[in-house]
Amino acid sequence: MKKTLLALAVAGAFSGAAFAQSSVTLFGIVDTGYSYYKGDGNGHQLVLTNSNLNSSRLGVRGTEDLGAGLKANFWLEGSVATDNGSGSGTSTNNQPSGTTSGTAGSQGFTFNRRMFVGLSGGFGEVRLGRNYTPLFMQITSNDPFGTNGSGDTKIYALTGLTGAGQISTTVRASNAFEYLTPPGIGGVYVHAMYALGEVASNAGSATVGTNDGRVYSARVGWAGGPADISVAMTRSDMLQLTTQGNYTGIGLGVNLTFGAFKPMFQYVQHKIDIVNTTIQDPERRDILLGLVASFGATDIRASINDYHIKNPAGAVDSARQYAVGPVYNLSRRTAVYGTFSMMDNKGVGTAFANGRATTTAGGKTTALDLGIRHSF
């Protein structure tokens, strides 16, 4: 009797929220594995890693039906390092730490991946908050490895570009306004984003620009039949210590589906403006050829990435990455996987690495990932 009364009391306490909200879903991914890294002239390393197939995460999302085709949506999602239990930082104003503000919550759990609220209907969807840039969405959707693990496209720190480690908007942007077109417009889709840097107008100086952290990004594509083709760009305004100006990324992505085979191609160019105009602005060009082949419960992923850098001093650096990896789906939610990748630096280059950098000019780095992923 006491248990029944308690259950009724709890149900009554939450009934208003339950009926007001059409749906609320708790979801997540736990992806943990073993990785072996080796770099010529720099030894090897054995580590327990996470997110080599899909990014480990914990989130809550929900939708309320407002009637007449209008819905309210929210999404809260944060990264979790499943090998050691730590969380990940987030950028409060699309700028690196040590500037106007920068990162926050680097040791505890934060909703750093996605956090937005919005409305959707026949007009499409509007979102306010933090989310992936349209250019990143194009890159990850045209990478067989989904920008995860040792075989992925190396875009996070823009390896080899001067000042690239300072860019915090190659993947996500905070303080963002987004618009996405509704499905069914002849296969055409548009994803646009504008994000605020939130620097006060009187804060401009030789080291801080009033537009620092402002982000423009857009993707336009067409999906029909076996093809999905899109172009995308991101521009970030970032003046850092009088050395780094704006970042611009542009890309073309194509993926096709022929039965069990899904070939992919993408071209991406990254450029960072240097405030000192007497030297050459650094550029990096990436070309990817990839394939996902599905045979029953097994997916085979493979890709070749070609990287080419033009550095400020005029030096040229390049590398080629080869990656292959099977995924065996034990169920709809659980999979085991493996990835082998090799990065071959060209000439005297040492900029690129898979897990462990090389100190040998023109050296190779290799990596092996083995893991298990469960989603809920």
| Cα radius of gyration rounded to whole Å, the chain | 22
Residue 197 gets the label, from left (phi > 0), alpha (psi -120 to 50) or beta, of: alpha
Q: How far apart, in whole angstroms, are the C-alpha atoms of residue 247 and residue 251?
A: 14
Count of C-beta atoms within a 10 Å radius of residue 359: 12
H helix runs in the chain, sequence order? 2-20, 134-141
Cβ proximity of 93 and 199 under 8 Å: yes
| Token output for 94 | 């699309």
Strand partners, 64: 72
The pLDDT of residue 96: 67
Read off the tokens for 203: 């804060």
Amino acid at position 246, single letter: N
323, 336 contact by CB (below 8 A): no
| Token pair 């693990």 in the structure block, residue | 149
What are the b/e assignments for 284-298, b being 16+ CB within 10 Å? bebebebbbbeeeee
Q: How far apart are CA 363 and CA 38, in angstroms?
A: 11
Q: Which residues of the chain have pLDDT under 70?
A: 1-21, 96-107, 157, 160, 162-168, 201-209, 239-245, 274-281, 311-316
Spatial CB neighbours of 278, under 8 Å, sequence gap ≥ 6? none
Q: Which pLDDT tens digit goes with each residue over 24-60?
A: 999 999 999 999 999 999 999 999 999 999 999 999 9
User: Hey, what long-range contacts does 64-69 have (CB within 8 A, 24 or more apart)?
Assistant: 64/20, 64/21, 64/22, 65/22, 68/121, 69/121, 69/122
Q: Which pLDDT score, from 0 to 100, does residue 140 have?
A: 96
Q: How many Cα atoms occupy the beta-carbon half-sphere of 49 within 13 Å?
A: 23
Quick one: pLDDT at residue 3? 41
Closest CA to 116 of 104, 127, 105, 132: 127
CATH class of 37-375: mainly beta
Q: Rounded distance, CA 64 to CA 87, Å? A: 29
Q: What's the start-to-end Cα distance of the chain, in Å?
A: 34
Residue appearing with tokens 């000192």 = 276
Collect all residues with Cβ–Cβ distance below 8 Å to 118 and sequence separation of at least 6.
72, 73, 74, 125, 126, 127, 128, 129, 178
Domain boundaries, the chain: 37-375
**Dist. CA 131–CA 118, nearest whole Å:** 12
CA distances from 122 to 148, 180, 182, 183 (A): 34, 11, 6, 9
pLDDT value of position 241 = 45
CA distance 247 to 250: 10
The answer to whether the beta carbons of residues 201 and 162 sit under 8 Å apart is no
pLDDT at res. 10: 38
pLDDT at 370: 98
Contact residues for 131 (Cβ-Cβ < 8 A; gap 6+)? 114, 115, 116, 172, 173, 176, 178, 193
